[in-house]
Amino acid sequence: MEFTILQQILLGAVQGITEWLPVSSSGMLVLILANFFNITSTSELITTSLFFHLGTSLAAMVYFRKEIFRLIKTLFNYKQSNIDDKNVLKFLIIATIISGVLGIVLVMAFYYFEYVELTGKTISFAVGILLLFTGAIQLRKKYSGLKKAKNLKTSDSIVLGLVQGIAALPGLSRSGITVSTLLLKKFDDTTALKLSFLMSIPIVLIGNIFLNLPDLQFTSTAIYGLLASFVFGLLTISGLIRLTKKINFGWFAIIFGLLMVVSVLV
């Protein structure tokens, strides 16, 4: 289906605003596409959602351009790089491989089993409750001794890869489940957000290459959707990072948890 310029901007804005929040951006797009555009084909819903994710991935690449440039340098000069960049690069590679394989399997399964959507909502509700408990723990926790990038282990890569792969289920927030998992593994809030956002970049690119590229039809209005997704995604990610520096992250996690629970119940 070819969308008008206004429709592209609307869908791009929804993607950009909801991508970094613990409210499934894919779930929101699917609801809008199904109810307002009468798109019910599972394959079209998935590929359209993935396409709009390209805009927010570009936003993350621009926001974390310095970190990404360092990671590229680390890839070609591994031995001379610092421990933080080595650990983050290793973390992203392992997590992306695991989540990529698991995500593609789940997406393929979703083509054939409609009940997967219910599973996604159930998990999303559980993650919302988990975030509420995480927030309460954060409010009472002393902020000394929390883990940073230098403390990343292979086991963290495996766990987060599995968690992000599960987020392929419709209705499940990728950012919500990855951030809450990192917090529960006792990483500090800034590191948790940064790693979660960086993880989104390669997995979205891989998803589009495998699922969208073969049948990609770039219409004349599509650029407006990608631009809206990029602009709103960049504004949202910037706002969230600034917000976490001003308030206790425990309240931040509690707000995230409430939003996730409400999004499932509505």
Per-residue pLDDT reduced to its tens digit, 108-140: 776 665 545 545 566 567 767 766 776 676 666
Rounded Cα–Cα distance for residues 23 and 159 (Å): 21
pLDDT at position 167, please? 81
C-beta atoms surrounding 36 within 10 Å: 11
Please give the residue range of the domain that contains residue 109.
5-265
Rounded Cα–Cα distance for residues 156 and 181 (Å): 10
CA distances from 5 to 42, 220, 234 (A): 23, 9, 20
Give the number of domains in the chain.
1
CA distances from 91 to 5, 85, 106, 263 (A): 39, 10, 22, 30
Return the SS3 of 106: helix
Q: What is the pLDDT of residues 194-234, one digit of tens each?
A: 999 999 999 988 877 776 666 656 677 889 999 999 999 99
pLDDT at position 230, please? 96
C-beta atoms surrounding 94 within 10 Å: 18
pLDDT at position 156, please? 96
Rounded Cα–Cα distance for residues 25 and 50 (Å): 10
pTM for this structure? 0.80
With a cut of 70, say whether residue 19 has pLDDT above it.
yes
Return the SS3 of 220: coil
Q: Which residues contact 172 (CB under 8 A, 6 or more apart)?
A: 24, 27, 120, 121, 123, 124, 127, 166
C-beta atoms surrounding 78 within 10 Å: 12
